[in-house]
Amino acid sequence: MTTTTRPGPAVARAVPTDEERRIALRSMKRLATGLLAVAAVVFAVAFALQEQVPWLGYVRAAAEGAMVGAIADWFAVTALFRRPLGLPIPHTAIIPTRKDEIGASLGAFVEDEFLSDDVVLGKLRSIGIARRLGGWLAQPANAERLTAEASVAARGVLTLLGDADVEDVVERLARRHLFEPEWAPTIGRVAGRLVADDRQHAVLDVVLDRAETWLEAHPEAFERMVSERLPRWMPGFVDRFVDDRAHREVLGFVRAVRDDPEHPLRAAVDDWLTEFTDALQHDPATIARVESMKAELVASPRVREFAAEAWASAKSALDAALRDPESELRTAMRQAVAEVGVRLASDERLAAKVDEWVTDAAAYVVRTYRHEIAGVITETVERWDPKETTEKLELQVGRDLQFIRINGTVVGALAGLAIFAVASGVQLLV
C-alpha cells in the first residue's frame, strides 16, 4: 500500500492516496449492499415459513426493518452525489447541482471562522515565529539550502534582465547622477579637503620616486631628448658633456625635492593646488572650461560603451559568484543567514520585534484581503467540473457514509423487531 506522508503538529501521519480511497469505498459499498441482500434473503425465508414456525415472525419483522433502513439510508447517501437509479427525484444529486452554492458557503465559512482577527493573530502569537525561524536558519544545512535557493533565484533574474534595457538604465543613471551636476565645484571641494589634509605630499613623493627610478634606468633616453635640442654644429663631446650634466642635474633636483620636506618646489605645488581647487569652486572661467570638457565626454559614444562594459562585467562576476558554492559572495550569504538565525533564536527583544512585525503584517493582509482570500475557494469550486467534484468528494467521505447504510440496516432491524414485539404483546393483551 502506497501512502503519502504529511507532517502534522507533532507527528507525521499517513494520508491514503485516491486509489486507496477508491478501493476502500468499493469494499464498504459491497459490505453495505451485502447486508441488504442478506436481510432480503432472511425476510423471504422467514416470510415463507412463519406460518409453520411462529417465532420466525420476529425474524421477518427484523429483516423487514433492516431492509427499510438500508434502502432509506442508501437513498439518502446516494442523493448527496447523484440521482438514485437515475430518476429525476427532487432534492437529489445535491453536490453536483448545488456545487457553486456549496463553494460560496465554504468560502464564507472560511472567511468568518478561519480568517478572523482573533484566530489568525492568536495563532501567530502562540507559535513564536521568530524563534522557530531562527532555530531553523541557524542550522548550517538550512542556511546553505536557503543560500542556494536564493542564488538560483538571483541567477534567474539575471537571465531575465535584458542587456539592452539594463545598459539603458546604467547610461541614464550615469548621465543623471554623474554628468548633469557641475563637476568643477565638486572636484574642487574634494581636492581642497585633500590638500588641507596634506594628502598631496604622498602623491608627489610617488611621482618623484617614479621619476628618479626612470631617470636612473633610462639615462640614454633622457640624454637623447637633450641632444636633439642642441645645435647640429656642436661637437659630439660637447653633446655628451651637456647630456651627462643635464641628466645629473635633473636627477639631483628630483632627489633634493624628494628628500627635503621644506623644498620650495613643494611649497609651490601646495600653493598652486590651493589656488586651483579654489578656482574650480569659484572661478567661472575654470568651471566653464571643465563643463566644456564634460560636454565633450558626454557626447562621446564611450558613455554607451562604458554602460555596456560595466553591466557585462558586473553580470559576469555576479553570475560566477552565485554559481560557485565556495565563492566569497555565497560564503558571506551563508554566514549572514546563520548569524540572523542565531540572533533570532537568542535575542528575546529582537525575536519579539520580529514576531510583532510579522503579526502586524499578517493582520493587515488578513483585514485587507480576507474576502479575496476566501473568494479563491469559491472561484476554485465554481471552476470544478460537477462530475469530477462529486467523485473527489465521494472519495474523501464516501467510505464513512457507507457506515450510515450499515448502521441503518442494523438500527432498522432492531426497530422492526421492537415494533413487532410491542404489537404482538398488545395483540395478546387484547
183 with 249, same domain: the answer is yes
- Asked if residue 299 belongs to a domain, the reply is yes
pLDDT reported for residue 237? 44
Domain that holds residue 362: 127-160+328-375
Burial of 265 (0-12, 13-18, 19+ CB in 10 A): middle
Q: Where would I find the H helices in 218-301?
A: 219-227, 236-259, 264-282, 284-299
Does residue 112 sit within a domain? Answer: no
What one-character DSSP code corresponds to residue 234? S
Type of residue at 71:
I
Residue 161: which residues within 8 A CB-CB, separation 6 or more?
none
Q: Report phi then psi at 347, rounded to 5.
A: -95, 105
Identify whether residues 315 and 185 lie together within a single domain: yes
Q: Is residue 206 part of a domain?
A: yes
Q: Return the C-alpha cell found at 293.
A: 570638457
| Sign of the alpha-carbon torsion through 66, 71, 76, 78 | positive
Residues 251 and 304 placed together within one structural domain of the fold = yes
Please indicate, yes or no, if residue 371 is contained in any of the structural domains: yes
Residue 162, helix vs strand vs coil? coil
Weakly modelled stretches of the chain, pLDDT under 70: 1-14, 162-163, 165-168, 170-180, 221-245, 247, 297-304, 306-307, 430
Query: What are the residue ranges of helices labelled H in 324-385?
Result: 328-346, 348-383
Q: Which three cell numbers stand for residue 259?
A: 628628500
Instruction: Please give the pLDDT value at position 304.
Output: 63
Domain count within the chain? 3
For residues 78 and 39, membership in a common domain is answered with yes
Mark whether 254 and 314 lie in a shared domain: yes
Amino acid at 175: R
Asked whether the beta carbons of 147 and 153 are under 8 A apart, the reply is: no
Q: How far apart are CA 35 and CA 402, in angstroms?
A: 12
DSSP assigned state of 160? H
380 inside domain: no
Report the distance separating Cα 254 and Cα 258, nearest Å: 6
What confidence score (pLDDT) does residue 65 get? 92
Q: Cα Rg for the chain, rounded, in angstroms?
A: 47
> Is 369 found in the same domain as 318?
no
Same domain, 342 and 399: no
Neighbouring C-beta atoms of residue 367, cutoff 10 Å:
11
pLDDT at position 240: 56
34 grid coordinates: 451485502
**Same domain for 86 and 152:** no
**Is 204 in the same domain as 292?**
yes
Q: Which three cell numbers stand for residue 167?
A: 545598459
Do 371 and 389 fall within a single domain?
A: no
Helix, strand and coil in the chain, % to nearest 5? 85, 0, 15
Residue 107 lies in a domain: no
Q: Are residues 222 and 140 in the same domain?
A: no
Q: Are 186 and 306 members of one domain?
A: yes
3-state SS, residue 92:
coil
Instruction: Determine whether 46 is exposed, middle or buried from the number of CB atoms within 10 Å of its CB (0-12, 13-18, 19+).
Output: buried
